[in-house]
Amino acid sequence: MKRETANYKKLPQIIDFRDGDGNDRMQEEIQANYSRIKQEVQQIITDEMERIKNDPDLRAC
């Protein structure tokens, strides 16, 4: 454990969520990404349900 701790290297920061005024916008970015992904998933579900409904080979009896 000591050896691992001694060899620890901090990961470099890849992205900074601060805006031009220095305000941390990470939570807003996370929420925006979550909302966008949720909307995309809902659209995929809608599209697939329509596709299944219109394809006799995919419809349940």
For residue range 7-19, list pLDDT tens digits in order.
Answer: 999 989 898 999 9
Q: How many structural domains comprise the chain? A: 1
- Residue 34 token pair: 């979550």
Write down the pLDDT at residue 61: 61
Residue 34 has pLDDT above 80, yes or no: yes
The alpha helices in 1-61, defined as continuous H runs, are: 2-6, 26-54
Distance of CA 2 to the CA centre of its chain: 36
Q: Would residue 42 count as lying in a domain? A: yes
- Where b means 16+ CB within 10 Å and e means fewer, 13-29 reads eeeeeeeeeeeeeeeee
- Residue 40 token pair: 């995309």
Residue 37 has pLDDT above 70, yes or no: yes
Q: Would residue 27 count as lying in a domain? A: no
Residue 60 has pLDDT above 80, yes or no: no
- Residue 54 token pair: 């219109």
- pLDDT band of 35, cuts 50, 70, 90: very high
Q: Would residue 25 count as lying in a domain? A: no
> What 8-state DSSP symbol labels residue 18?
B
**What domain range is 58 assigned to?**
33-61
